């Protein structure tokens, strides 16, 4: 029986931390008293863990975008051998923005500022919000 209770609290905390449910919704969804959920949330620092989880998720997403962009740049350079000045400036600007978002601790992520759009324009990509 203790194993089930431990597993249940892992599921309950995951609902708050990873799925973004608030404490009252978690209590209702799992049939647990709100005061028990609130007490566990404070004791185990669920808000801090949610922030860390979101930061990690955003960082992973930004890394995927950066990898995809760099792969596309590499492919373009392999196929054409060069980029014109306008395209090179656009790519450099996009990479600079990605680095700034990562180094600022996700304060101004694309998800916070609106969706990030990647448009393929001929041989290059353009990032915009």
Same domain as 66, residue 20: no
Same domain as 114, residue 80: yes
**109 pLDDT above the threshold of 50:** no
pLDDT digits (tens, 9 = 90+) for 47-103: 999 999 988 888 888 888 878 888 877 887 787 777 777 777 877 787 787 777 767
Q: Which residues constitute the domain of residue 15?
A: 2-44
Same domain as 18, residue 70: no
Whether 65 and 125 have beta carbons less than 8 Å apart is answered as no
Alpha carbon distance 94, 62 (integer Å):
12
Same domain as 92, residue 60: yes
Alpha carbon distance 107, 43 (integer Å):
26
Same domain as 108, residue 63: yes
**1 pLDDT above the threshold of 60:** no
pLDDT at 11: 94
Same domain as 77, residue 97: yes
Average pLDDT, the chain: 78
Mean pLDDT within 114-129: 52
Structurally, the chain folds into a number of domains equal to: 2
């Amino acid at each position: 029986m203790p194993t089930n209770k431990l597993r249940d609290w892992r599921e309950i905390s995951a609902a708050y931390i990873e799925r973004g449910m608030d404490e009252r919704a978690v209590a209702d969804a799992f049939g647990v008293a709100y005061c028990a959920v609130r007490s566990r949330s404070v004791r185990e620092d669920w808000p801090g863990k949610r922030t860390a989880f979101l930061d990690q998720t955003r960082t992973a997403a930004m890394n995927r975008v950066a990898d995809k962009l760099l792969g596309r740049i590499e492919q373009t350079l392999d196929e054409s051998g060069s980029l014109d000045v306008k395209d090179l400036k656009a790519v450099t600007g996009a990479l600079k923005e990605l680095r700034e978002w990562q180094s600022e601790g996700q304060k101004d992520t694309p998800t916070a500022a609106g969706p990030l759009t990647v448009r393929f324009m001929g041989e290059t990509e353009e990032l915009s919000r």
